[in-house]
Amino acid sequence: LAKTTQPISMDSYEGQEVNITCSHNNIATNDYITWYQQFPSQGPRFIIQGYKTKVTNEVASLFIPADRKSSTLSLPRVSLSDTAVYYCLVGQSGTYKYIFGTGTRLKVLA
């Protein structure tokens, strides 16, 4: 199971784009990269998932370089409600045994 490393915390202002980078040097060939968001006293919520290059959905973009040893979650124009902890996870689609790292505590300021 790949270990992930993220910044412990980040601050941003409303309306800015936020990029959170995750390092996963030991990612395996079959591993996908998945990002989750967690609010206090709630379960994690799926944001986005990718295998390589770029993935975009209605809430975020995920950039994955060719070597897949890192990934960057991009949140466009954040709002106060985006204040949460963001977790980067890697795992095989058939295994699902996630080991959570520290996550990144994002604080969006007015």
Partner 1 sequence: GAVVSQHPSRVICKSGTSVKIECRSLDFQATTMFWYRQFPKQSLMLMATSNEGSKATYEQGVEKDKFLINHASLTLSTLTVTSAHPEDSSFYICSAPGTYEQFFGPGTRLTVL
8 lies in the site for partner 1, by CB under 8 A: no
The residue within the footprint of partner 1, chosen from 28, 56, 93, 107 (CB under 8 A), is: 93
Instruction: Give exposure, 13-52, as e/b (b: 16+ Cβ within 10 Å).
Output: eeeeebebebbbeebeeebebbbbbbeeeeebeebbebee
Cβ 15 to partner 1 shortest distance, Å: 28
The residue within the footprint of partner 1, chosen from 29, 42, 58, 66 (CB under 8 A), is: 42
CA–CA separation, 2 and 5 (whole Å): 10
96 lies in the site for partner 1, by CB under 8 A: yes
Per CB under 8 A, residues contacting partner 1 are 32, 34, 36, 41-46, 49, 87, 93, 96-103
